[in-house]
Amino acid sequence: MRFLTALLLLSAPAFAQDVQTTDAPGALLRWLDKMSGETADVELAVGQSAVSGHLTIRLDACRYPSADPASDAFGLLTIRDARALDPIFAGWMIASSPALSALDHPRYDVWLLRCSTMAGSAE
């Protein structure tokens, strides 16, 4: 079992290199406050930040497969909690697999829905 897991992890970069991606001008994210149940959709342009609750969410990049823009999105996010010095999340989120690289926070959840395929539109 360990061998199979190691083999899959080592071959994952080879699979990822086969997909041509396009940089998007922005993305649509969803934010959830687990305590109150409040949700909000946040549309951000690359380089833009939004504040939701104690979180500041910054979109650093969003990419999607060039051949099929509706199939998936990959967003590079930096998420800070106003009560912490270091970012609580910094990395890539994948829209189709949010649990693969998820924000680990007891109160808040943030996930990527899709990239914007045109300026000002998260489609």
123 DSSP assignment: -
CA angle 67, 115, 32 (to 5 degrees): 140
pLDDT of residue 121: 47
In the structure, what pLDDT confidence band is assigned to residue 17 with cuts at 50, 70 and 90?
low
Cβ–Cβ under 8 Å, residues 88 and 77: no
Mean pLDDT, residues 15-41 taken together: 88
Q: What is the pLDDT of residues 84-116, one digit of tens each?
A: 999 999 999 999 887 788 888 899 999 999 998
Residue 123 has pLDDT above 80, yes or no: no
Does this model's pTM top 0.75? My answer is yes
- Between 42 and 15, name the one with better pLDDT: 42
- Read off the amino acid at residue 52: S
pLDDT of residue 36: 94
Residue 104 CA to residue 95 CA, distance in Å, equals 16
Q: What is the pLDDT of residues 31-52, one digit of tens each?
A: 999 999 999 999 999 999 999 8
**Secondary structure string (H, E, C) spanning 60-102:** EEEEEECCCCCCCCEEEEEEEECCCCCCCEEEEEECCCCCCCC
- Between 15 and 68, name the one with better pLDDT: 68
pLDDT of residue 98: 78
